[in-house]
Amino acid sequence: MKNLSQITKIYLKLTLVSIFFASNFIVARLMSTRISPITSSAMRFVIASCVLVIIVFQKYRTLPKINPYQLKIIFLLGIIGIAGDTFCFFSGLKYTTASKASIIVALNPVFLALFSRIFFKEKLQILKLTGIFISFIGAVIVISNGAVLSMAMGNIGLGELYILGSVICWVIFSLMGKSINRTMDSIIILCYASIVGSIILAGIAFGSGALIDLKNLNIPTLLGSLSIGILGTAISYQFYYEAIYFLGASRSGIFLNLIPVFATIGGILVLGEHLRSAFIIGAMMVLSGVLITNFHNNHNN
């Protein structure tokens, strides 16, 4: 029996995760003229690792020891869930459009629900599946500005496969982390996994000319990197893992479809983009899907 106020706090944290993740797109777009995406990603996780180390030290006064099994899982989380996810995502954007990539990423809650059922025996009631489906369609409408059919047209190419790989990496990251979340504090898991991922991404970035990018750093770019690293990564990942532990992967993952909604709102407010009727319809569907997915479970808690 979960405390209602505790669940409310988790929902609030998941909403903040969606807002912070959405803000990453806005900030990254503004930073893109100064540094490359891979350099930005490396800086993001280096900063996040530093923040997470500070949090762990404040809580435990040391870096806690981990057993060999936990170490193996953490290495896989860093390699697959952080470095792999980032590499596949940016590699995919070289060969496909951002809109198509976003639609594929919107499949995250679907895959999370299916694999949660397979590996963790999470129940998939008709109401939950309905909510996930409505939320997915709403996210597609938001991303495509209502041109769903034309956006879905086209052959599956290398770019789409890379983005699908990114989705699978995120699903593995979510579910594998849950497998050791009951025996280990989520902040420790994230701290060590982030360190592993940041080392890999930093190596790729320097091999791709990050030193040249770093010469282009200015105050706004540095502030943007700090924002993405602290709020959009360290804090967001911690909140997300807490939610998976309390709610399960499928109920937490459905909130990810709020990301394109908040990203669009940010684009309207910050970048001066226009509000379209398709956005309103899609946003209402996403919100409805989130509420439906969690409504039945709240009455069972």
Q: Which among 116, 86, 99, 92 is positioned nearest to 153, based on CA atoms?
A: 99
pLDDT for the residue numbered 211: 67
Output the pTM of the full model: 0.83
In sign, the C-alpha dihedral spanning 5, 11, 16, 19 is negative
pLDDT digits (tens, 9 = 90+) for 1-21: 457 688 889 999 999 999 998
In sign, the C-alpha dihedral spanning 170, 173, 176, 178 is negative
pLDDT digits (tens, 9 = 90+) for 108-162: 888 888 888 877 777 777 887 888 889 888 888 887 776 666 655 555 677 778 8
pLDDT for the residue numbered 1: 46
* Residue 32 confidence class, pLDDT cut points 50, 70, 90: confident
Residue 61: alpha-carbon gap to chain centroid? 29
pLDDT digits (tens, 9 = 90+) for 243-282: 988 888 888 888 988 888 888 888 778 767 677 788 888 8
Taking 60 as the threshold, does the pLDDT of residue 68 lie above it? yes
> Domain coordinates of the chain in residue numbers?
4-298
pLDDT digits (tens, 9 = 90+) for 175-231: 887 777 777 888 999 999 999 999 999 998 888 877 677 777 888 888 988 999 999
